[in-house]
Structure 1
Amino acid sequence: MSSEKSIRLAAGDVELTVNPAIGCRIEGLRIAGTELLRQGERYGSFPMVPWCGRTRDGEFSNGGVHHRLPLNAPPHAIHGTGRDAAWRTARAGDSEADFYYDLADPWPYSGRVTQTFALSGDSLTIRMGVETYGTSFPAQAGWHPWFLRNLGSGGQDVRIGFTPKWQEERGADHLPTGKRITPLPGPWDDCFGMPDGVDVTLTWPDELELTVKSPAEWVVVYDEQPETVCVEPQSGPPNGLNTDPWFVTPIEPLEITTTWSWRRL
């Protein structure tokens, strides 16, 4: 485990804490003293890389080469290895910071993942990149924030607002069947298509409105737990290593960005 300490960024009355030692996870996002993320080593907000969500049976292929990943959510492999890695701090300022780690076993290809954070008084922009040290490989990247359903000040629970073009039909194994359907009402543990870019608004009535945006075209919304709501922009759908991968090559990395912006109500 890395000995790196948590990095605190601040802008006005907004405070962001990132811990590179536990997967370069956002430990907390406080706005005017109010925490927005569930606390704990499994929570906050973590990067999903080099794949997002579940990979069927932990198996994928790169051309004619077949690979097996550890089944950390049997019978599947889930959420990548980046959340379990010890990242390094490349730069840390008052309101911006950059981090990286090198891909390693059990991921079968060598490369580097970078993540940058830029905080302002009304927004947070996060960028992630995946590059190879030689061999091209399929990959995905995204984020898994655990937003609090209730901010704990006596207000109402959060409301989710978004208009996806489609929903990936979910099979009994929790993976997309390959069929796109008209979006269904929640609760959800589902992937949605937003071809014009991810745009999801979380509203805590009379308290705060937060919008998650990304040029990425897929978002998983997970609101089946009583304490949290997850809005996960990602570069492809669950099992995307097999169905819709991005191929990282020596001249074309995988790059993804998300911006969270907020306003008080």
Structure 2
Amino acid sequence: MSDEDITLTAGDAEVTVQPGNGGRVGGLRVGGLELLRQGERFGCFPMVPWCGRIRDGRFRDGATVRQMPLNAGPNAIHGTARDGAWKVARRKADEVVLTYALVEPWPYPGLVTQVITLAGAELRIAMSVEALDSSFPAQIGWHPWFNRNLGGRDGREGQDVQVSFDPAWQEERGDDHLPTGNRVAPKPGPWDDCFGMPGGVDVTLTWPGQLELKVTSREEWVVVYDEQEAAVCVEPQTGPPDGLNTLPRLVTPLEPLEAATTWSWTRL
């Protein structure tokens, strides 16, 4: 196990990976511009074995009700793997493979593998969850904190990021920040909301005059969060918040849960 940061490089891009801090991508610099908000709890962390909030921290597996620790008011949020140290399975200049053994408070033995690859003007992150014993419900997702403003150059201030996407629906959000189960027409922001994109997640972030970045995934769920002044989050995931209850994906010893997201960028 290594707590030391790992740096991946390709072209004018540099990625910092932090195995000891939840297996997160701690930074992404393109041509000297840092795209991710810096700080111990920021960057881009993996959400696994669930994404977003679980209502009351409880989910049902068959006849068994499981209780997770409450760390978001009355709910449990963002999985357990972001709070642990990951192991480095292998690494090279432009790729690193990390693993994390699911442990308490998660009640099922399992192994999470994350492959982070930097290639040209593209960062690809793939993740899988394997069941080592009994089957269990799970989710996979990522929670990047993109800087709202990349700073200025040539004496000019940078402009705030613009977020563009075309979802098929928006999950209606209750007062508890969890989906009600109703799908509604997409509404203008600010957002802390889950959207459906059946053709796959496809969200464009544009920092005018500086950089355009596309967040894509074959998954059809994305949470967009832009209620903080410093950053904007675009979170591809395998199901909506509280999905362990409403849309569980079963991981079995024979069939892991797999997902991937790609960030690709163009300098403007």
Into which bin does the TM-score normalised by the smaller protein fall?
over 0.9
Counterpart of 2:206?
Answer: 203
Counterpart of 1:255?
Answer: 258
User: Are the counterparts in 2 of residues 4 and 89 from structure 1 also a CA contact under 8 Å?
Assistant: no
Q: Does 2:142 match 1:143?
A: yes
For 1:131 and 1:85, locate their aligned partners in 2 and report how far apart those are by CA, in whole Å: 17
**SS at 1:241's partner residue?**
helix
User: Are the counterparts in 2 of residues 52 and 79 from structure 1 also a CA contact under 8 Å?
Assistant: yes
For 1:176 and 1:127, locate their aligned partners in 2 and report how far apart those are by CA, in whole Å: 26
Structure 1 gaps, min length 5? none
Once the two structures are TM-superposed, the CA of residue 49 in structure 1 deviates from its matched residue by: 0.2
In the alignment, residue 218 of structure 1 is paired with which amino acid? W
Q: Does 2:174 match 1:171?
A: yes
Once the two structures are TM-superposed, the CA of residue 3 in structure 1 deviates from its matched residue by: 4.5
Q: Does 2:78 match 1:75?
A: no
User: Are the counterparts in 1 of residues 2 and 19 from structure 2 also a CA contact under 8 Å?
Assistant: no
Structure 2 gaps, min length 5? none
User: Are the counterparts in 1 of residues 3 and 21 from structure 2 also a CA contact under 8 Å?
Assistant: no
In the alignment, residue 181 of structure 2 is paired with which amino acid? G
Q: Does 2:194 match 1:191?
A: yes
Write out aligned runs for 1:226-265 (5 A). 226-265=229-268
CA deviation string 1:117-162 (max 9, x = no partner): 1102210010000000010000001000000000011221000000
Cα root mean square deviation, aligned: 0.7
Once the two structures are TM-superposed, the CA of residue 100 in structure 1 deviates from its matched residue by: 0.2
Counterpart of 1:16?
Answer: 15
For 1:250 and 1:113, locate their aligned partners in 2 and report how far apart those are by CA, in whole Å: 13
Counterpart of 1:158?
Answer: 161
| Corresponding residue pairs, total | 264
**SS at 1:83's partner residue?**
helix
**SS at 1:21's partner residue?**
coil
Q: Does 2:184 match 1:181?
A: yes
**SS at 2:20's partner residue?**
helix
Counterpart of 2:112?
Answer: 113
TM-score by length of 2: 0.97
For 1:152 and 1:26, locate their aligned partners in 2 and report how far apart those are by CA, in whole Å: 21
User: Are the counterparts in 1 of residues 132 and 253 from structure 2 also a CA contact under 8 Å?
Assistant: yes
Q: Which consecutive segments of 4 or more residues in structure 1 shift more than 2 A? A: none
Once the two structures are TM-superposed, the CA of residue 86 in structure 1 deviates from its matched residue by: 0.7
For 1:98 and 1:58, locate their aligned partners in 2 and report how far apart those are by CA, in whole Å: 30
Counterpart of 2:217?
Answer: 214
User: Are the counterparts in 1 of residues 2 and 88 from structure 2 also a CA contact under 8 Å?
Assistant: no
Once the two structures are TM-superposed, the CA of residue 4 in structure 1 deviates from its matched residue by: 2.4
For 1:4 and 1:57, locate their aligned partners in 2 and report how far apart those are by CA, in whole Å: 33
For 1:85 and 1:113, locate their aligned partners in 2 and report how far apart those are by CA, in whole Å: 12
In the alignment, residue 87 of structure 2 is paired with which amino acid? R
User: Are the counterparts in 2 of residues 208 and 262 from structure 1 also a CA contact under 8 Å?
Assistant: yes
**SS at 1:156's partner residue?**
coil
For 1:3 and 1:117, locate their aligned partners in 2 and report how far apart those are by CA, in whole Å: 16
**SS at 1:146's partner residue?**
strand
